[in-house]
Structure 1
Amino acid sequence: MSRQHVVIVGGGVIGLLTAFNLASKVQSVVLLDRSGVGQESSWAGGGIVSPLYPWRYSPAVTALAHWSQDFYPQLAERLLEVTGIDPEVHKTGLYWLDLDDEKEALEWAQRLNRPLSSVDISQVHDAVPVMGGGYSRAVYMPDIANVRNPRLVKSLKAALLAMPNVTIHEQSEVSDFVRDGDRIIGVSTAAGDVLGDSVVLAAGAWSGDLLGKLGLELPVEPVKGQMILFKCASDFLPSMILAKGRYAIPRRDGHILIGSTLEYEGYDKTPTDTALESLKASAVELIPALADAEVVGHWAGLRPGSPEGIPYIGPVPNHDGLWLNCGHFRNGLVLAPASCQLLTDLLVGDAPIIDPVPYGPEGRIQS
């Protein structure tokens, strides 16, 4: 076992799962979060275990997504076993309606041997009776799941709290890095410095600001997304559906999530009436019966926006001891299992699960 002490900055799903993976490989892990763990993008997202339009992404994102999709069921089983909290990986399939690039989507699926196929719209209405009319075409992927992200966060936190070599500090904002020459040996907080052999920056939308303390320019910025939540019968919506960039996600207990907006508003997380009305209109277009349902939740979160949605995973050049696992944009929950396993492999010197080159910070961040 490596005798390392690792400090992780950021307690979203990426930071939590990185800690979970590293705990069995290193001597100790300290995780710091500026608020409560998992309360930002990880809590606010929808939890579809797929990029919204997977064929529109680069092979780098696809490689992480496919590994993670295959791994999620066993991760959920393991977490349920050790914590008693079920992250609810719920395999419902996903229908895309009236795609502009349906041909490209089907060609992508054939090329990568993914089970995406076109289906007659009448079949969709048979499978999802509550779906609205007015749609003429559909493609379907049967094996896509959604994960109940707040429960995933709770389960990961509980698993970490039970590990004797893991410490979690909430309400512990990192203000700077501690340096010894060119080496990063820890981070500064209001309660004092926290030192380690390695520091992993997994601070989501705040990662770019923190790396700026070192004079490095990481193109990760906050991108606001708003969601609304309805409560219906548990069998009301049997599958996820997506049209015009908006989606409906069923949870096992009948909660229906509708999302999401894409807003470049800095760090403002205020839910707005404009977004509420827009999301309600999308909800009713997708599922007319929701016109009579009560909105039981409306919130906003900040995604870590990055160019092409390709995360930064690996060591920071010329700053020994500093590692990145951030910049997942809209796909943090989708890509988390693969991203965190890859970071763990690289940090402890194991053979990486996939080619790490596309995610390396080298050449992708400016000094």
Structure 2
Amino acid sequence: MDSTEIAIVGGGIIGLSLALELVAAGRQVTVFERGTAASEASVAAAGMLADQDPENPAELKQLSSLSRSLWTDFRQQVERLSGMAVPVHTRRSIQVAHHLPEGFTEATPEEIASVAPGLNTSGKSAFFLEEESICPPELSAALPVAVRAAGISLLEQTSVEAVHDRADGIEIVTSNGSWLAGQVVYTTGAWAAQLPGLPAAPRKGQMIYASLDHPLDCVLRSPDVYIVPRGGGYFVIGATVEDAGFDKQVHDDDIQALLARAAALWPPIGNATIVSTWAGLRPVSPDHLPILGPLDDQGKGRTWAAVAHYRNGILQAPGTARLMREFIEGQQLSVDPTPFRCDRFALSSVQ
């Protein structure tokens, strides 16, 4: 039987980021991925590092701020290890909202016109956010390469079929043989619902990749839609939010409605050519907060979870990796983990 110090079940951006964090701390790590690494929500996302988004739950502020402070180093680490570019595509956003949130300054019509001519703010407030965006397909191509270059064993097409607690560790039965691990971390995204006590579920999001010969160098976002420039006249438009299980079919009616919402926000995008469409599965918990921390209730410190990041997985990956390493190594935690504890749903049901 093969062995590893720490097994990570799930090879999306959360699992791979954690693997890099742990190996940098001197731990031996093996990642088990049922399909292809970074090929689900990791690659389907829009890539906005929206740590200042006032629509985010207040409980996310600490984790999002920590993660944003780590993102540049994380991106550069991935580039250095992989030899592949993961560039920043935009560095600010304009958010359109029904009301101006406290602490934000409303943008003037002149400021908006200088950046996004034609933006429709009728009856609403608009304000600038200093936030970056990256391209998830670029990150998803580079991250598995970086992980392997760091000396991490990444086993793709290897599903975990059973896990058994033993006196000498945890036996992991996979489709390609059994392993013995000292600790296991579940980073299974939308598939976390298969674990007892973790009420995570998929939320489908359909998206558009479009081309338009019209300059724009900032993200445009409203409660209904976002438009993310990718450079070279390409844009990502998203996204639907659907409770559709694991269905990833794309429907033309939904795509046309999404494009219409984008055109209502920024009319020039109504002339865009649709290049491709896709759907991803966001992992979400009942309270829309991540599920992070120890899974076992006997203080063994053997099993952990880092799932259900919903619409902020790309942003929160480095911060989650840091927090989970601190958990695993028994260090002082960088953020208060109380809102994210794995047993909070069981606790709420008996109160």
The reply to whether TM is greater than 0.5 is yes
For residues 63-93 of structure 1, the C-alpha deviation after alignment (integer angstroms, 9 at most, x for no partner) is 1111122221222222223322222233431
d(CA) in 2 for partners of 1:232, 1:335: 30
Residue in 2 aligned with 1:174?
Answer: 160
List aligned pairs for 1:206-221, cutoff 5 A: 206-209=191-194, 211=195, 216-221=196-201
d(CA) in 2 for partners of 1:331, 1:274: 26
TM-score w.r.t. the length of structure 1 is 0.87
Question: Helix, strand or coil for the counterpart of 2:312?
Answer: helix
Aligned-CA RMSD value: 2.3
Is 1:148 aligned to residue 127 of structure 2?
A: no
Residue in 1 aligned with 2:98?
Answer: 100
For residues 9-51 of structure 1, the C-alpha deviation after alignment (integer angstroms, 9 at most, x for no partner) is 1111100100010112244211011110111111111111016
Residue in 2 aligned with 1:225?
Answer: 205
Return closer, same or farther for 1:51/1:309 CA change in 2, 3 Å cut-off: farther
Residue in 2 aligned with 1:349?
Answer: 330
List aligned pairs for 1:218-257, cutoff 5 A: 218-233=198-213, 236-257=215-236
d(CA) in 2 for partners of 1:96, 1:255: 20
d(CA) in 1 for partners of 2:226, 2:52: 9
How many matched pairs?
344
d(CA) in 2 for partners of 1:52, 1:40: 25
Residue in 2 aligned with 1:124?
Answer: 112
- Unmatched runs of 5 consecutive residues or more in structure 1: 111-115
**More off after superposition, 147-156 vs 312-321:** 312-321
List aligned pairs for 1:59-208, cutoff 5 A: 59=59, 61-97=60-96, 99-102=97-100, 105=101, 107=102, 110=103, 116-129=104-117, 131-133=118-120, 135-164=122-151, 166-180=152-166, 185-208=170-193
1:199 Cα shift?
0.4
1:175 Cα shift?
2.1
Residue in 2 aligned with 1:297?
Answer: 276
d(CA) in 2 for partners of 1:365, 1:151: 39
Return closer, same or farther for 1:14/1:289 CA change in 2, 3 Å cut-off: same
TM-score w.r.t. the length of structure 2 is 0.90
Question: Helix, strand or coil for the counterpart of 1:118?
Answer: coil
Return closer, same or farther for 1:244/1:318 CA change in 2, 3 Å cut-off: closer
Report if the CA contact (8 A) 1:198-1:322 is conserved: yes
Residue in 1 aligned with 2:312?
Answer: 331
- Unmatched runs of 5 consecutive residues or more in structure 2: none
Q: Give the partner amino acid of 2:337.
A: P
Question: Helix, strand or coil for the counterpart of 1:269?
Answer: coil
Question: Helix, strand or coil for the counterpart of 1:219?
Answer: coil
